[in-house]
Amino acid sequence: MTLSLRSLAEECGIWIGAAVGIEPLSSDGTFCDVLAREFNAITPDNAMKFEHLCPEMGQYNFRDADEIVSFAQVHRMHVRGHTLVWHRRIPQWLLKQDLSRDQVVAVLEEHIFTVAEHFRGRVAAWDVINEAVEENGLFQDSFWLRGIGSEYLELAFRWANQADPGALLFYNEWGGEDLNRKSDAVYSLLQKLVQHRVPVHGIGLQMHVSLMEPPDRQGLVANMRRFADLGLQIYITEMDVQIHNSPGSLKQQLEAQAEMYREILEACFSISTFKGLSTWGVTDRYSWIPQFTGYPDAPLLFDESYQFKPAYWALLDVLQSR
Ligand code: XIL
């Protein structure tokens, strides 16, 4: 077997994944080749979001998500389902309605069962809840919180587990990578869920980071460790590293970026329940970051023409030394 992130990750027993959009997957052959060669896990970047799956009331359309899942099956890759419950990407037809608590509960239950049963046995891990806590540690305001109250979190995990008892269930969050008010609040939440025997198996740390605001390394390790001590798996779910505005030449920026990828994967390996790391995309060509920040950037492992970047070699090196 040729040397790749994938082959080394498989020897280490971890997942190395990437988020994918339906467009490059159906039109860019090089994208598909690199994806299948270098990664053993896939996260659909948008295709499994509520609005995408169910743009019209009562009419689910699984075409794009199924295409991504089929690709994963053909290439023997794990699928991380993303995401069952989020405050964003809720379809307009739903937001427009004025519903009682019981009705919102029923909508959420039906959505989770419809989606998780559809993919039962094909999605290995679900981001059941995405981003439910704000930076100040309070629950994120949302259609679900307003309609149901914070009990929606526990309900969602229980329903996902009933719909697909074989899937690993994650709570996924951004900005809670090291020790801060958000990660403290997420920790308390998960501690409570674990105590109440809610079926939650892991914490996803998104890891959208920037060279200008690096996560605190010791804080990251301490944070991952406290979640691991709750018995939870640790997964870096959406890593990308922005270089915009960081000092030095492009070459120096890309080297600093590689060091950040290296440090974070090394930190992960110090945690016994570390399960895997996924980047939010394969190539800088299709990264979501320029649209999100408004600046050109190069946050991933492959450049716009699919050349290996220093960050790629850094991860390869960490895996090789395991
Ligand atoms: C992003 C997608 O990549 C974009 O295409 C879309 O426009 C916005 O959402 N955290 C998440 C992901 O959990 O769902 C987001 O994905 C990136 C931030």
Q: In the annotation, is 131 catalytic?
A: yes
pLDDT in tens, 249-283: 999 999 999 999 999 999 999 999 999 999 999 99
Q: Which of 238, 255, 259, 304 is catalytic?
A: 238
* Measured torsion, CA atoms of residues 220, 81, 295, 264, in degrees rounded to the nearest 10: 20
> What is the number of the ligand 1 atom nearest to the C-alpha of 45?
3
**What does the pLDDT average to over 282-300?**
98
Say whether pLDDT at 1 is over 80.
no
Q: What pTM was computed for the model?
A: 0.98
- Cα 322 to ligand 1 centre (Å): 31
Say whether pLDDT at 9 is over 90.
yes
Q: Which of 38, 131, 173, 177 is catalytic?
A: 131
What are the tokens at 94?
Answer: 């739903």
- Cα 172 to ligand 1 centre (Å): 12
Residues having CB closer than 6 A to ligand 1 are: 45-46, 130, 174, 206, 238, 288
Residue 2: band (very low, low, confident or very high) from pLDDT cuts 50, 70, 90 = confident
**What does the pLDDT average to over 224-243?**
98
- Cα 182 to ligand 1 centre (Å): 19
C-alpha to C-alpha distance for 313 and 89, rounded to whole angstroms: 35
